[in-house]
Amino acid sequence: MGSVSETATDPVAVEHEGRGLSHSTFAAFRSKPFALLWANTITFALSQSIQQFTFAWLAIEIGEGGVQLWPGFTVGEGAVLGFVIAALGLPILLFGLYAGILADRLDRRLLLFGSQVAGIAITAGAATLVAMGSLNIWGVLALAFVLGSAVAFGMPVRQAIVPSLVPPERVLNAVTLMNVGAQVATGGAVISGAVIEFGGISAAFAAQAGLLTLGLLALIPLRVPAVRGNISRRMREDLGEGFTFVVHHAGIRSLMIALLATSLVIGGAFQALLPKIAVDDLDAGPFQASMLFTVMLGGTLITSLVLASFRRVDRAGFYFLMTLVVGGFLNIGLGLAPWYTLALIIMFVTGWNAGFFTNLNMALVQAHTPNAIMGRVMSIYQLCMAGAMPLGALVAGLMADVVGAQEWYAVCGVGLLALGVVMVATQTDLRRMSSAPDPERDAAARATGG
């Protein structure tokens, strides 16, 4: 058994089986339903990666030289990029909580199926409209919002299913493997860059539709446990139950606050400004810009595969909070990077840090949340993770036109660093949380929060 200590008096922080990669690294795949969900997630995440890069590039092309939204009001390229990324993320803010309620009331598999079919129809329609040259800025914004809506209803459901498919002691392993699949799929950015380079934006949307169609094949044999029977309560009461749990669990409450602040400070800026920084400051084309996301994948995979080998990470909350501090320094560096090669190196290390950030925060929530309210809590989680991104992206786009994309990105890095330092110093309950269920500590956390 290996161990990592936070202090000399706290000897066991991490437990794992064996050294390096082993059968335990992929233990969750022994569950056939989990393997099917993982296969579906690969295609979904790959499509998502292509989608985000494609919309960003479409916004850059449309916004070149400025766009007149209405007579007398023209915005620059950065603002257009911010508006489009905001439109993609806004549905999570508007509909994500209701999607979580539905995930705890209805057949989760059916909800997944419906959201994916909707995504196929929308991306196929987008490919057709782009090929016909029928999209102006308002059409792009509408398309981004509609496609974002399909994602908003599908994502909390997919996350809520995971803990019900594996034993409690395998939640970290399952969450990490799901994230590994999603992280491998971030290679979709480089696929998107290559497709746009040679086939245009229409071809990139068509590729998304094809991937989502392929993912349906894994959903057909998938069966997931039922959560509850017919519910006669109002949706407001169901939603209140989810919020009550989050508010009364001191550790999870702190985690959600940290995620919301991170989303606002850096999440929107990352999505909106990285392609613009690549083009304007690093002289990169579509393929080179997409490589920034792809090298980040390499670092993320390393930490994800390492974490997948562990049954339990004690003080996982402390390590999660430290990723905010490290991320702050890395984003400042990226904002100041004068060369493309240096930016590639920083993005690789950022991926290494992001692997800890993503896997630990999701494992913390899922390991300490009862399955009966998992859908609602995961919708709150998704709201905190992405709900503030539209505002962050919009502000980042506007400020990029004022002070420059790299300069504003560095400012966001300073904000993330400050957030991390404050959270590490003040959030004791979150620092002590482990990645596995701990009934006694969870009860104490709810008592502290209530």
CA–CA–CA angle 183, 188, 192 (5° rounding): 160
Is the residue at 39 inside a domain?
yes
Number of domains present in the structure of the chain: 1
Q: Decide if 293 is inside a domain.
A: yes
In a domain, 80, yes or no: yes
Rounded Cα gap, residues 196 and 203, in angstroms:
7
Which pLDDT value is given to residue 380?
A: 87
24 assigned to some structural domain: no
Q: What is each CA distance from 62 to 139, 140, 270, 320, 373, in whole angstroms? A: 11, 9, 20, 38, 43
Residue 381: inside a domain: yes
Q: Which of 212, 46, 180, 223 is nearest to 115 (CA)?
A: 212
Question: Which pLDDT score is estimated for 312?
Answer: 82
Q: pTM of this prediction? A: 0.69
Please state, in angstroms and rounded to a whole number, the distance separating the CA atoms of residues 111 and 158: 9
List, for residues 68-112, the tens digit of each pLDDT value: 778 878 888 788 888 888 888 888 888 888 887 887 777 888 888
Whether residue 78 contacts residue 276, with contact meaning beta carbons closer than 8 Å, is answered with yes
> How far apart, in Å, are the Cα atoms of 412 and each of 12, 29, 328, 331, 336?
35, 39, 8, 8, 12
Q: What integer best gives the mean pLDDT of the chain?
A: 82
Specify the CATH number for the domain of residue 109.
1.20.1250.20
* pLDDT reported for residue 23: 53
Would 125 be classed as within a structural domain? Answer: yes
Q: Rounded to 5 degrees, what angle do the CA atoms 292, 410, 345 make?
A: 30
Q: Which residues, including other chains, have CB under 8 Å from residue 409's CB and lie 6 or more apart?
A: 269, 273, 274, 277, 331, 334, 335, 396
Report pLDDT for 392: 87
From first to last of its 450 residues, what are the pLDDT tens digits of the chain?
333 333 333 333 444 444 444 456 788 888 888 899 988 888 888 888 788 888 888 888 888 777 877 887 888 878 888 888 888 888 888 888 888 788 777 788 888 888 889 999 999 999 999 999 878 889 999 999 999 898 888 877 887 788 888 887 777 788 778 877 776 666 666 777 788 888 899 999 999 999 899 988 888 898 887 765 555 567 778 778 888 999 999 999 999 999 999 998 998 888 888 888 998 888 888 788 888 888 888 888 888 888 877 778 889 999 999 999 999 999 999 999 999 999 999 999 999 999 899 889 988 998 898 888 887 888 888 888 877 888 888 888 889 888 899 999 999 999 999 999 999 999 999 999 988 776 555 555 555 554
Q: Establish if 5 belongs to a structural domain.
A: no
Q: Which domain holds residue 338?
A: 30-222+231-449
Count Cβ atoms below 10 Å from residue 217 Cβ, excluding itself: 12
Structural domain contains residue 301: yes
Distance CA 194, CA 190 (A): 6
- What is the structure's pLDDT at 8? 33
How high is the pLDDT of residue 171?
77
Which regions of 239-378 does DSSP assign to beta strands (E)?
310-313
